Amino acid sequence: MQLEVRDINKSFGEKQVLKDVAFSVPGGQALGLLGRNGAGKTTMIRIIMGVFDADGGSVLLDGKPIDRSRVKIGYLPEERGLYPKKIISRQLAYFGALKGMTSSETKEATEKLLGRLEMSEYLNKKLEVLSKGNQQKIQLAVALLNDPDILILDEPFSGLDPVNAMLLKDIVMEMIEKGKIVLFSSHQMNYVEEFCRDIAILNSGGIVCSGAIRDIKRSYNRLKIVLSSVEADKVEQYIRSGAMDIVTAAERAHDTVTVTLVSADNKMELLRRLSAQNLNLDRFDVYEPSLNDIFVEYTEDSI
Amino acid sequence: MKQFKQVLRFEFSNYAKSKPYIIITAILVLVIAVLLTYPRISALFKSGDGGVPQAGDERPIMALADMAYGSDEMLKKMTEAFPGNKVVTTGESIDQLKSKVVSGDYASAVVIEAPLKFTYITEAISIYANPTAPIMMILKEQYQLTKITELGLDAEEASDVIHPAVGMTVTETGKSQTQSFIYTYILIYALYMAIMLYGQFVASSVATEKSTRAMELLITSANPMSLMFGKIIGTGLAGLMQFGIIFGSAFLFYNLNVDLWAGNAVIQMIFNIPLDLLLYVLLFFIIGFFLYSFVYGALGSLASRTEDVGAAIMPVTFLAMFAFFAVFYGMNSGKLDSPLMVACSYIPFTSPMAMFTRIAMSNVAPYEIIISIAVAIASTVGIGMLSAAIYRIGILMYGKPPKLGVLIKTLRKQKANA
């Protein structure tokens, strides 16, 4: 099973919200759909869900236009909320029925999910008596109720304490292992790196970076070198006086000096010069960019 | 269709199983039951003391001290004039009678001091009662009789002079407005209340789903058409059921106590509604309710918070008020076929009330009824479609409600894309 978004365009009035957006997610994988607030992520998700029609482009499942009446989609929206004054079991029964489940299927799934989410005791309570985090878990239960083929999670970890975040992480990992397609939108890059092999970064409605996180990191410019030394002050001093022909910037924080090279080819030359100075180096590493660095680099132009 | 049924069932049970709905319905049924059974209930609690009840006759006692005529004729006339009282003659003085009224031995007392002078004693006179008027009438009549008799006529001839028999035949070529006014008013008012109450419930319910963000999940679980129509029809059925229970219980308790109300013309008029009118009111209730509810649903979808609902639905609330007051004016003036009422009979937002009133209280040609119903049904369908389109846009719009121009533009674009 593979979800493919092909050249999606969408405008609201004069404003073009999505421009030729394309990505794909195979079954058993999670794609991180990233972007700053207002980048078009929710609109993209709503198009996949069929809430909005795209002005152009298509959403395909296994190469054919997606038939939402046949494929089961679970969605955890960024904006949390259900019916505060209604009993939880009744809300789940309602959503189960809307998703086409029989009452016995819904009952069975409800018991299983609430047990898994450690929420069984709240089955016959009103939603409003639950904490924010627990309300979020009920929403997750709604999203997972019909054992969806495609799971779309929009900021699922916001508002969760570390224990509940761990629980949610386990559940999402189980879904991935079960071969489900997971689309994951979050600003918490650590979670994205944990779940997702691939990412697609949206900026001003267009995809500015996509692919496997590992490949993106590898292709990231490798001009930064991290040096650790007990003589960090001397290292910095030397670089500023004797290596500025191959270095554009140097910053020191405690025992670490981060250096930006003019060219990646200058790496060995810098190491040679530092060795020649008999400076005591504990570490000489090419800086590994975090997903956060990549995200900021690709989206900061729209700040 | 399945989703629509699920939404309908959910919305219907939301109201029908809610405590306020059950309590209000039960209280209203209880009030109706008590009111319509009141004569029977009050009879059970009446005792045999005080100025009111006595063994064998539970009516309040009115003492009559006739110092002017002293005849049985005066007692007879007073008894006829005050059927709710047991009139007894007495020779007690005004002070004694006052004491007995204060103590409750007598409910009231009439002292006829001279042929044209009397004193009426009672604890308090209700603003709705005028007990001295019949006494004045009796004394005037008795005075005239006495004077005419003195002129040589016998009592019967004198009575014929005072009360000459007038032959009268009233022929109403149309429907009797007197007969139909009360029940028409009650039914129109019920329709108006249903529109206002349940229409606002629909609008608030949509806005609540938006403000609690439940809509985010709903919209991805069901299509907007099912959501809107399921909500409106579910709410409408709950409203219809509530009104059915209230009116049904009124008819039930009336029929259980029909013997007690045989002499009450107003109650007789209220409950003697022709069956065809009940069918018309049901039809116009359904059309009117859904017509307004579709608009309420669409306007509710434009409000982001429940606090904004009032402002969003204000135009349609004024429209419903205009319809009610225009029809009420027509009913009160008796001009049911005036240009205003005729025009209102064909305008979709006023026709359910106006045409029903004209059918109930006037003579309306069948073709007029058919045209009015056809226009109303077509408009309801059209407005339903338009409302669904607005609802689809509105439910995902947050913040300031969109301006009409923006809304029309978006609707056009949506139509072009479809």
E strand intervals along chain A: 2-12, 15-26, 29-35, 56-61, 64-65, 73-76, 150-154, 181-185, 198-203, 206-212, 224-228, 247-253, 256-261, 283-286
Give the whole-number percent of chain A exceeding pLDDT 90.
33
List the structure tokens of B267. Answer: 């109650």
- At A274-300, the pLDDT tens digits run 888 888 889 999 888 888 888 888 887
| pLDDT of the residue at B361 | 85
Using the CB atoms, write b or e for A238-265: b if 16+ within 10 Å: bbeeebeebbeebebeeebbebebeeee
Give yes or no: residues A210 and A237 share one domain.
Answer: no
pLDDT at position B55 over 70: no
Q: What is the CATH number of the domain that holds B147?
A: 3.40.190
| pLDDT of the residue at B50 | 43
B210 Cα to chain A: minimum distance (Å): 9
State the amino acid at position B48 in one-letter form. Answer: G
Give yes or no: residues A121 and A259 share one domain.
Answer: no
B30 Cα to chain A: minimum distance (Å): 28
- At B226-242, the pLDDT tens digits run 888 888 888 888 888 98
- Which structural domain range is residue B77 located in? 61-162
Give yes or no: residues A194 and A230 share one domain.
Answer: no
Q: Provide, as residue numbers in chain B, all residues whose Cβ is less than 8 Å from the Cβ of A94.
A: 6, 10
Whether A59 and A5 have beta carbons less than 8 Å apart is answered as yes
Q: What is the CATH number of the domain that holds A279?
A: 3.30.70.2810
- A98–B7 C-beta distance less than 8 A: yes
Q: Does residue B2 belong to any structural domain of this protein?
A: no
State the amino acid at position B151 in one-letter form. Answer: L
* A141 touching chain B per CB within 8 A: no
CA distance B135 to A96: 76
- Angstrom distances, CA of residue A280 to CA of A235, A250, A283, A286, A287: 9, 18, 9, 18, 19
- Angstrom distances, CA of residue A206 to CA of A43, A110, A200, A301, B346: 12, 39, 10, 13, 53
- At B110-138, the pLDDT tens digits run 999 998 999 999 988 877 778 899 999 99
Give yes or no: residues B207 and B145 share one domain.
Answer: no
Give the whole-number percent of chain B exceeding pLDDT 70.
91
Average pLDDT (B145-168) is 83
Question: What residue in B sits closest to A84 (Cα-Cα)?
Answer: B212
* A75 touching chain B per CB within 8 A: yes
- B2–A77 C-beta distance less than 8 A: no
Q: Which of residues 80-139 of B touch A (CB under 8 A)?
A: none
- B222–A77 C-beta distance less than 8 A: no
CA distance A1 to A67: 13
Q: What is the CATH number of the domain that holds A9?
A: 3.40.50.300
B49 Cα to chain A: minimum distance (Å): 55
Of B162, B182, B216, the residue that ends a domain is: B162
Of the ranges A248-262, B105-119, B389-403, which one carries the lowest mean pLDDT score?
A: B389-403
Torsion of CA B183, B189, B191, B197, to 10 degrees: -150
Q: Does residue B179 belong to any structural domain of this protein?
A: yes
Question: Can you tell me which residue has the tokens 């069929």?
Answer: A50
Minimum-distance CB partner of B217 among A13, A55, A142: A142
Q: Provide, as residue numbers in chain A, all residues whose Cβ is less than 8 Å from the Cβ of B417.
A: 53, 55
Question: Can you tell me which residue has the tokens 């249903």?
Answer: B194
At B148, give phi and psi (nearest 5°): -70, -40
Output A241-247 pairs: Cβ under 8 A, ≥24 positions apart. A242/A273, A242/A277, A243/A270, A243/A273, A246/A270
| pLDDT of the residue at A277 | 87
Tell me the count of A-B CB pairs closer than 8 A.
52
pLDDT at position B53 over 60: no
Q: Which of A53, A71, A94, A158 to mutate to test the interface with B (most CBs of B within 10 A)?
A: A94
| DSSP class per residue in B32-75 | HHHHHHHHHHHHHH--S-TTS-BTTB-SPEEEEEESS---HHHH
Give yes or no: residues B181 and B121 share one domain.
Answer: no
List the structure tokens of A282. Answer: 């504990």
- Which structural domain range is residue A195 located in? 2-218
CA distance B11 to B234: 5
